[in-house]
Amino acid sequence: MKCEHAAEFIPDYLEGTLKPQDAERLEAHLESCAQCGKEIALARELTVLPTEEPSAALRTRFEAVLAAYEAGRRAGVARAQDAREPRAWTWNWFRSPALGFAAAAVLLVGGFLGGRYETNTNGPQSHDEVAALQGEVQGMRQLMVLSMLQEESASERLQGVSLSTREEQMDPKILTALLHTVRYDSSVDVRMAAIDALSRYGNHAQVRDGLAEALETNQSPLVQVQLIDLLVQLHDRNIIDQLHKIEQDTDVNPAVRERAQQAIAQLS
């Protein structure tokens, strides 16, 4: 047997899947060929190279992320019950695979994380670690919110909207996603929840403009009225022309036209 031929056998030989008669032929070759023998010896040596241990911090970080999931799951269920959703919905949320996903979205309250870290680590880097971990969990929550807003079920999208309100500072991506929800979501409930969530960010021009655009296109009277309410509250005088159009449009629901008329008075 030549080395080229042996080369075909070596990988299977190492894995122990070479046919016995081929293995015999290979072994005969190995007795006279130091090079092929060395290859096999090194390959075997690779499997017993000493391994390294990761630091305990790796597990702690992982457990913190997992705990964020669990906390989020409980918060999600509690929230669903608080909101007095129909029972079937609550139950579906509980069973839904998306819920665990949602759960990750919840930021661990500083106290939980801080407390955990203070008991587990000491030394100067623990503050950085807490900060890094909080950043990580927060990043994950944003991710979860964004993903939940894409869900097929309205209840899950609703959940995503309510999770988004837990951020102290709204991520621009989430703002954009919520504005998209206000304009295009098929469910009136979800649209209204998104408007609520956005109401805290009325100081952003992007939010006011987005809400005004939504007012232009939205067909649901409930949503229209809510949008007008919010824009009046934000003293957005740019919408006065738009309000005039609504007030004069006979296709628009009378209640909405009436609200538009009031709004014009409020803003003028």
Partner 1 sequence: MTTSLPDEEVMLMVRDGSAEMLGVLFERYEKPLFNFYVGLTKDRPASEDLVQEVFVRILKYRRSYKPGTNFRPWIYQIARNARADQMKKNVPHAEQTEAAEPMQAPANSLESDQQHAILRRALDELPEEKREILLLSRFQGLRYEEIAQMLGCQVGAVKVRVHRALQELREVFVRLERGAAQKSTAAGANYEM
Q: What residues make contact with partner 1 under the rule CB under 8 A?
A: 7-8, 10-12, 14-15, 35, 38-39, 41-43, 45-47, 49-55, 57-59, 61-63, 65-66, 69-70, 73, 95-97, 99-101, 103-104, 136, 140, 143, 147
Q: Using CB atoms within 10 Å of the CB of residue 195, give its burial: 0 to 12 exposed, 13 to 18 middle, 19+ buried.
A: buried
Shortest Cβ 69–partner 1 spacing (Å): 4
Contacts of 151 (CB under 8 A, 6+ apart): 98, 157, 160
CB of 39 to partner 1, least distance (A): 5
Residue 63, CA atoms < 13 Å, CB-side half-sphere = 10
Axis-axis angle for helices 188-198, 172-184 (nearest 10): 140
Nearer to partner 1 among residue 115 and residue 139 (C-beta): 139
Q: Minimum CB separation from partner 1 for residue 90, in Å?
A: 15
Crossing angle of helices 172-184 and 154-164, in 10° steps, is 140
Chain-centre distance for alpha carbon 23? 53
**C-alpha span between 265 and 81 (Å, rounded):** 40
Q: How far is the CB of 27 from partner 1 (least distance, A)?
A: 16
CB closer to partner 1 out of 139 and 249: 139
Q: Which is nearer to partner 1, 137 or 228 (CB)?
A: 137
Would you say 68 or 239 has its CB closer to partner 1? Answer: 68
* Whole-angstrom distance, CA of residue 156 vs CA of residue 209: 26
Q: Which is nearer to partner 1, 147 or 262 (CB)?
A: 147
**At its nearest, how many Å lie between partner 1 and the CB of residue 75?**
14
Return the closest-CA partner of residue 215 out of 197, 242, 249.
242
201 and 175 in contact (C-beta within 8 Å)?
Answer: yes
Q: Residue 73 or residue 257: which is nearer to partner 1 going by CB? A: 73
Question: What is the smallest separation between the CB atom of 149 and partner 1, expressed in angstroms?
Answer: 15
The nearest distance, CB 57 to partner 1, in angstroms, is 7
With tokens 């969530």, the residue in question is 197
Smaller CB separation from partner 1, 66 or 109 = 66
Distance CA 2, CA 4 (A): 5
